Each structure stands twice: as structure tokens, then as C-alpha cells.
Structure 1
Amino acid sequence: MPGSFSTLKALCAAFALLIVFAQPAAAQLSFKPTAEAVHEDKLLNALKEGDKISGRITIPDAMASSLIQPAGRDWRDFHRSKLPIIGGIAIIGMLAVLAIFMMVRGKIRIDHGFAGTNILRFASFERFTHWLTASCFIILALSGLNVSFGRTLILPLFGADAFAAMSAYAKLAHNYLAFPFMVGLVIMFLIWIKDNIPGKIDLEWMKQGGGLLSKGQHPPSKRFNAGQKGIFWIVIIGGALMSVSGWFLLFPYLPANVTALQFWTVIHAVIAMLFIAAMMAHIYIGSIGMEGAFDAMGTGEVDLNWAKQHHSLWVEEEQAKGHAPSGTAPSAVPAE
């Protein structure tokens, strides 16, 4: 019997130890969320309200604490669906307008043909500033369009490897050429602001459509007409917005939070599409759209008859200063 009693005691002790060690597991299995725990309905309500879900971090980057940000889905949807539509309407629409203008109006000719005498319109430094800014803009525009349309239009044509290599170089060009572009904007503003202040004469120019819509009617204007002034302010204001937003994209830790960074990416993309469309019209008029116009930024000198036709008041001012010839050369070059 003593042996049996000892065995019974051992079994009771083992059972007691089993209960003691089993308590944590039992407690874990029977655990239920308390009132202070995160409930699914609260999480969904927070997402519906647009508030981001944040965690706790110990690193300096405060934006890394964002776990879920519902606005990010809207931002992604904008870049994937809405931005291509905006860009397509702006750019393809401008191409269509220019094509119609070319077919209806044709090339804007010098009414009385070339005079054979030139007048200095832009000095060397002005032309350097223009081409610095223009060349950077073209590369920035092409590399930026690759971000929005490259995966759809270029990738299927050249393949994944070629597209990846091209996009990598385009990104480098886009990042570094942004700085000379911004420098060019500042210089352009400083040297041309005095000639681009809107005035009463610009209203008359706009009423007559600048003589672009009808032949033989060319309203007087000074060094820059209302259309050129409009382009100037589009470049300055649009370029400033592109520069500020682009600066935040180059240095993404400057914005206060992810939402601010997303805001500037949207501004950068939308302004870029509108900017490109406006510059397409400028390039057309300054090259094949108007006879003699390219010489202004090509050699810096324009034909005197061209200057009188499009900037008659400016010619009078230059002649009064003794900077321009007072008459035409005996032999005129044919317009055709």
C-alpha cells in the first residue's frame, strides 16, 4: 500500500504540473480582442475617410511610418489612366489644330517679298539663352513623355531590354538637364521681361488675330507682339511650376509628407503636357509656319520687310535710334 500511495502522489503532482504549464497556452487560445484592440470596422472607416494608417518607427524618415495610404491608389490611377488621356488630348489635339491651320491658312509669307536688307533682332547672348533653354526643354519633354507613354508605345516596338536601357539614360538626362533649363529660364526672364509687359496695343493685335488668320492684315506691334508675349509668360510661369515641382521630385525628402509629394508629381505631369502642347505651336510658327521667322533665332538678323510686316513699331524705334537701315536694298530676293 505504501508503494501505491507513493504512486498516487506522483500522479497527482504530475497532473498539477501539467495544469500549471498548460495555463499560458490555454490563455493564448482563449484570447479575444479587447475594447482597446484595433477592430476591422475602425480600420475600414479610417480608410474611407482618407486618413493614412501609420506605425511607429525609430529612423529619421517620418514618411516611412505610413503603412496604408488610400490616396496612393487615386494617385496611381491618375498616372495610369487620367494622365495619358490629358496628355493625348493636349498633344494630339494641338497637332490636329496645327494641321488644320496649315491646310487652311498655309505658310505665312512676307507680303512684299524679301527686301534684301536685314535688321538685327536678337544678339548672340539672347540666341544662346534661347537655344540653351529650348534644347534642354526638348530633351526634358521627350524623356518625360517616355515616363507616361513609353511603356505603351515604345516598349512593344524595341523590346524590354532596349526600352530599359533607353529609359535609364533618359532618366539621367531628365535629372541633370533640369538645372541648365532652370538657369535659362532665369536669364530669359531678366533680359526679356521689359519687352513682354502687356499693353493696350496687344488688345488690338488680338482683336485682329495677329494677322495670322487673314492675308494682308498685320496689326502693328513692338519688339514682341501679344502672341509672343503669351508664349513668354507660358514659358516663365509654366517653367517655374515645372522647376518647383521637379525640385521636389529630385529631392523627395523635402516635402512634409507623402501626400505633398504626390501633389507635386501631379502638378509636374499636368503642366508638362500643357507646356509641350504650347511649345509645339511656338515651334511651328517659328520654323515652317512663317516665312523668315527662323532667321530671328538662327542668325539673329531678319529681313527688313519681315520686320515691318510683323513688328512695325519696333522697326520705327530701331530706325529712330539709328540701329536699323532706313530703306531697302535695290535688288529684292523673291519670296518663292
Structure 2
Amino acid sequence: MTSPRPRRDHQPSTPVPQPSASHSGVPFVVCRPLLLTSDLRPPFSRRRAIVHPMNKIGVTYHPKSEAARSVAEEIRRRIAATNVDVWVASAWDDEMREEHVAESDLVICCGGDGTVLRAARAVIPHPVTLLGVNLGRLGFLTEITPAELFERLPDVLAGAGRVETRAMVQTETLRAGEETAQHFHALNDAVVGRTAIGRTVQFTVRTDDTMLGSYRADGVIIATATGSTAYSLSVGGPILHPESREIIVTPVAPHLAPANSIVLPEGSRVEVQIAPRQSAILSVDGEPDQDLAGGDVVRVRMSQHTARFLRLGPPGEFYVRVGRRLNWLTE
């Protein structure tokens, strides 16, 4: 009989970030950009149920892209020929989506990452799976090209692939201590930023009632693992595994303080409070905008909703896709 392995507590491979002090006396937390995962559990994608055959499929497209519209119509034509129920709508056609999305098994998004982000919010609260077709430029969220989709369409209709589940965050705003009626869900990030070019905004950041820092900066990004390859990455934030459930907090161009990120564990609550006599804007996944005034608090935490993506390749393909987009790898 094999003797059991000695128990080994899970410890991070790098030192836990420690508070420091900047030259201005403002506290900040140093965190080197790292590729992190939540814990020792197997990746979510290995534990997902097998995708079932499709009974109803939606196709959305970016309304300002004639190429996206053309591809969407061709997808509709090919699906209709198989006697599967299919509908087509502009990504901005909220009425059409609301009419059909609840009964849909899959929504195919033709465009760029922005089209996919919009679809991820639009299908809430229904557990509808998304498949992104890349007609944009970056394509971190889009899975395949139009030609690849046409080739694999019979497999998709038969239920091939795996479901990759992405965490989302939700925001709520407190004004004079009371919650406002505006609540948003984000797949990428929530950003509290300045109202005009050439100005900064002063704010404090707390997590679970603990002060992280007080900043005068262009803004702060609170990002999901999906958002770790978006705006957060452009200001030096770390890249997380796509199914991680940590939250990244990154100040944008802070004055007299390093712009280091901090990665918070699942379940954390982040609060950004605007300083008195200041003004700011809350942007969620790049839209919509909410005006903020001095004293307002934006609270960000993990959403109960998730985004489900149909993936036709192996889990490791994420790293290849990121490597190619960032020129770490050649095509």
C-alpha cells in the first residue's frame, strides 16, 4: 500500500504584497504582474457538463460593420437549412434579444470583443452560451474566424466543444449613504475615472473595510480575469487565467505613487470613494457612464451571474491566443 503524500499547505510562490509608503506619504500596495490561478482545484473547464445539441440559436452582429452583418446572415442561412430554430439581430437591438434569448441555447456574436461584451450582459440572467466570431482587431474573447465557423458548424449544432465559465462583477453606487437605482454587471471591468483630459481625480480605495490607498490619479480599474487582458493590461496589470475569480485593482497614472496592481481573492468587495468637491465617471465595460460626485462610493464585488463561452479548442489555447495577440509568439 502506498503511503499517503505529506500534506503541503498551498502557499503563493511569491511573497505576499506588503503595504509601503510613497514619497508623498500615500500608502500603496506593490504587486508584480503575475499569471495567477485561484487555488488547487482543477480548472473549471475540466469540470463542465458536455454541451448538448442546439435547439435554438441566436446570431448577433455589430450594426456598423457590413462584414459582420453579411457573416451573420450567412450563418443564419446555414443554420436554417438544418431545421434548427435561428434568429438574427443587431447587437444593439435590445427588444429582439429580449424576445428570443431566454429560449436560446447559444448566441453567436459576429464582430469584435465589444460585441461579445455586450452580449454577455444582454443574456443576464439566462445561462446562455456565447460563441464569438472574430471580425474585429484583437479577438481575446472571440473564438474562431468566419471560415472556421462554417467548417465547424455541424459540430457546433451537434453539441461539440466545452463550456468555459467567466466571472463577472457587479457595481452599485452609494450617494449620501444610500444606494442609487443604478446597478451594472461587467465581464471586463468597472473603471472610475476623471471627467476631462488634463485633470486628475482624488479618491480612496478600500477592500472589505481595509484601506488600500488614497490616490490622485486618472482613475482606477477594477477588473475580472477576463478584463485582465483589456484596459488593465494596458496599464501594466497582470494576466489571470480566464476562469479565475480574483479581482484586480489597478490605479491609472497615480501622481507621486507607483501604479502597481493588487490581486484580491474571490469574495472581496472593493469600494472607491470620491473625495469631497471632486467629480468622476463610472464606466462599466466601456459603457454606460454614470456621473459621480464628491462623497459618492462605488462598490464592486463578484456578480452572481457568469458568462459562458463555447470553446472548440483545448484549454491551453488561451495562452496561445494571448501570446499571439501580444507578439510573444509568431503565427
Rg larger for? 1
Higher relative contact order, chain-length normalized (CA < 8 Å, sep 6+): 1
- Please give the TM-score of this superposition, normalised by the length of structure 1: 0.21
TM-score (norm 2): 0.21
